[in-house]
Structure 1
């Protein structure tokens, strides 16, 4: 969905403590995910209503950010404008745009540190610079920014700040991004972009510049795509342990997203790992079966307590386990933080009023 379709003529600043986003804004955010990602939209139906609405707002801002960079031809200026918009969001005075207003409510209501959405914008800046990735670790650092940051934010929206659960959410985000890259090799190459690890290409005898000039499928490239999917599968397996740490009502949706994206990898394999001349898809019937499977009891996972990926650790460390409200520290969800913050502000105003009297 183009960024302009989320715009609104409503240009007001919400009074302190009141939501910025209107019902029309939420509808626009919902439309963005419905047209932009059928997989995420399908999985989102399993989320509780309030979490689902926040997920739509988060997705809409991610989509807006991606569209702004793409429409500007990977412009560094577009990234700078996004940085400015993010600063306004965290200052509580978002730009006149549905996605900005929705994200402003999300960061205030769930105590989202600015480092998480800033990481996404940094990843888009890497795209704008045409960066390539020499190793899998460098590629995972990119995936940490454009995908794991979103997974960590969703975890906070669901009211969980536990470091181990955040680590598994980041694993899932990176796995999904690696799957995306494996699926879009040809499409990215035709757009002049290359995300596959350069050392893997060299080991396979593939010249990166030559491939970009003439993207053709070869057995050597199939092996690289298969290798990337194998790396993603390791992370999908690790990520499962974190789902049990989420609120029970949220688990089916995240498990569904995990199952559907892992299935994309299997569809790529079913195409003979050809991501240049074919695009892997998961049928509607198969998605329905996976959604039903996601509602079943979780299997036991052996990966609980696994260390975070080095590339995502900085995201986890950016999330305080406790949030300050007034002069006290609380181990509570961000929604309650917002309410207590409002109460504290009102108390301060009353105290000032008494002193003035």
Structure 2
């Protein structure tokens, strides 16, 4: 499949898999937009393979998760090296990796997150949670920053890009607490559950709902802190990329804010944000991108340097 067709397929993938990301991606310049779609296509395919999903929907049991992860690594490595794999999302990654010189370790870091899920891993503490979020989303933020022209050596800006990935994943975890529990997963740290006197194997117990809601809100608060840090990093990007990042931060940040304001309703129904609010953030982000306000340091936030 040639590049043009890979881009077309990648566009269909993001439009189906994430309306929020699809809408924000349209704010990029054409070259960056196409590369963002190509990268998304690979990320989405890896996630779907790991969880037995179709564009993030219908999670099912994967018969041999270790074999699936090994195949994912192999195809990613081959694509990164410029080989054709015959699998369009992986070939899409190969195109964008070659065009933007994306370091392979970032791709491997993302796959490491799926490997954690494959072995039924759960976080013991907040640092464990944030490291997991780095693997499945923060590393993607770093790769996206490189797609937007950030040097792989610019660690400060990559840290801010990682923060946006952390914010997105924390909001995802907060939104999917009930769905994950139904699939036998729990990303709330064991230390949090112990403090709240919640049974790790039955966090959805109806009579313990009042103890669970504050933990979901705690995830939302963490997401908000990393969203704010990511906004600072956006000041280093070209205008259209800055606009897209700020819009995505606002659109996705609203998910966390809606979860927190739902007072536990998110545990019974999936939280969405309206099309009107998404459009509102595109307008608001345009003004924020023009002002290009620069903020402070990342003191107190988790850092990629803790990843081992």
Superposition TM-score, scaled by structure 2 size: 0.90
Distance change in 2, residues 1:308/1:253 (3 Å): farther
**What residue is the counterpart of 1:38 in the other structure?**
19
- Helix, strand or coil at the partner of 1:218: helix
Note the alpha carbon deviations across 1:195-246, whole angstroms, 9 max, x for none: 111111110111111226x577711101111111111111111111100101
Structure 2: tracts of 5 or more residues without a match: 53-61
**What residue is the counterpart of 2:199 in the other structure?**
207
Distance change in 2, residues 1:74/1:244 (3 Å): farther
Note the alpha carbon deviations across 1:19-63, whole angstroms, 9 max, x for none: xx4322211111111000011001011011111111111111011
Q: Pick the aligned partner of 1:183 from 175, 193, 199.
A: 175
Note the alpha carbon deviations across 1:255-274, whole angstroms, 9 max, x for none: 01100111001111221143
Q: Which structure would you say has the larger RCO, counting Cα contacts within 8 Å and 6 or more residues apart?
A: 1
Matched, 1:51 2:32: yes
Matched, 1:138 2:131: no
* 8 Å contact kept, 1:64–1:99: yes
**What residue is the counterpart of 1:283 in the other structure?**
274
Q: Pick the aligned partner of 1:155 from 120, 145, 155.
A: 145
Matched, 1:62 2:43: yes
Matched, 1:91 2:81: yes
* 8 Å contact kept, 1:139–1:197: yes
Superposition TM-score, scaled by structure 1 size: 0.78
* Structure with larger Rg: 1
Matched, 1:300 2:293: yes
- The structure where helix makes up a greater share of residues is 2
Superposition CA RMSD, Å? 2.0
Distance change in 2, residues 1:154/1:126 (3 Å): same
> 1:164 Cα deviation (Å)?
1.4
Distance 1:283 1:53 in 2: 25
* 8 Å contact kept, 1:217–1:276: no
Q: Pick the aligned partner of 2:260 from 256, 260, 269.
A: 269
> 1:300 Cα deviation (Å)?
2.7
